Amino acid sequence: MKYAGMPMAMWIIFSKSFKRNLTDVLKYDEQESRRITAEAKKKYRAVIEKLPEFEKADRFKMNIVNCAMLSAFFLNMPKLPDVDSATEYYKKSMMTGMMQWFCRMSGKKKYSESDIKSMKDTAKLKAGDRNPYSWNMEFYEYEDGSGYEARFTMCGICTLMKELGLEGLIPAMCRLDYTMSEAGGVTDFVREYTLASGGPYCDCGYKKKGAGHLAEPDEGSEKAAIRHK
């Protein structure tokens, strides 16, 4: 993957907040925060340039770029943080004013025809079959029209962070799904399983706020059978 383009832009946009939260959240002093950030930039570029190019229709390129950035910071810290600290660090670093605005704008389009079509197209693409750093997703709409579930059977974040020796910190990235959904203002995010914790898949349930009881996806009894094994 070329560093020029989205990866470079993402570094410009987010590196300051990643650096600031080395101090605000993880309590490194200013000198150490500068050192970590300088080394992280080198590592980030190296990781990006070893990744394959993503297909044009693959919507998950930004996810793997974010993963590479967070991993680069982790790999240059004197000591890896615990999961709770890593989760707070990533949340504060990503949820800048601009990102919160982006989530609100995305929320306005949630559950629209174009949103549903995009999800269905992503499920058909199965980019993870050709790129181990991408995702394979299945799409299920709730029978009562209260939302939908995106179910991931392959996860590029899991692949990359395992390769980098950061498997134990994958949940720090997973938790941002809740935060971004909350910032969007229209969704209650629900989840039962993650691949990182040994689940059969990662489920991302997007339920319309105020829709009442969460319906099962339109897929028969498959999920209930898994849950009660």
Q: What are 45-49's contacts with CB under 8 Å, separation 24+?
A: 45/3, 45/7, 47/71, 47/72, 47/160, 47/164, 48/1, 48/2, 48/3, 48/7, 49/1, 49/2, 49/3
The runs of H, that is alpha helices, within 133-199 are 156-163, 170-174, 176-184
Residue 179 within any structural domain of the chain: yes
- Output the CA torsion sign for 170, 172, 178, 180: negative
Structure tokens at 41: 């930039």
What was the pLDDT predicted at 216?
53
Residue 1 within any structural domain of the chain: no
- The model's pLDDT over 192-224, given as tens digits with 9 standing for 90+, comes to 999 999 999 999 999 999 876 555 555 543 443
The CA distances from residue 155 to 67, 128, 200, in Å, are 11, 8, 12
**Mean pLDDT of the chain, nearest integer:** 93
- The model's pLDDT over 91-144, given as tens digits with 9 standing for 90+, comes to 999 999 999 999 999 999 999 999 999 999 999 999 999 999 999 999 999 999
Q: Do the strands 202-208 and 136-141 form a parallel or antiparallel pair, or are they unpaired?
A: unpaired
Residue 43 within any structural domain of the chain: yes
Q: Residue 99 and residue 77: Cα distance in Å, rounded?
A: 25
The overall pTM is greater than 0.85: yes
Provide the domain limits for residue 130: 6-227
Residue 125 within any structural domain of the chain: yes
Residue 148 within any structural domain of the chain: yes
Total of domains in the chain: 1
Percent of the chain with pLDDT over 70: 92
- The model's pLDDT over 74-97, given as tens digits with 9 standing for 90+, comes to 999 999 999 999 999 999 999 999
Percent of the chain with pLDDT over 90: 91
Q: How confident is the model at residue 42 (pLDDT cuts 50, 70, 90)?
A: very high
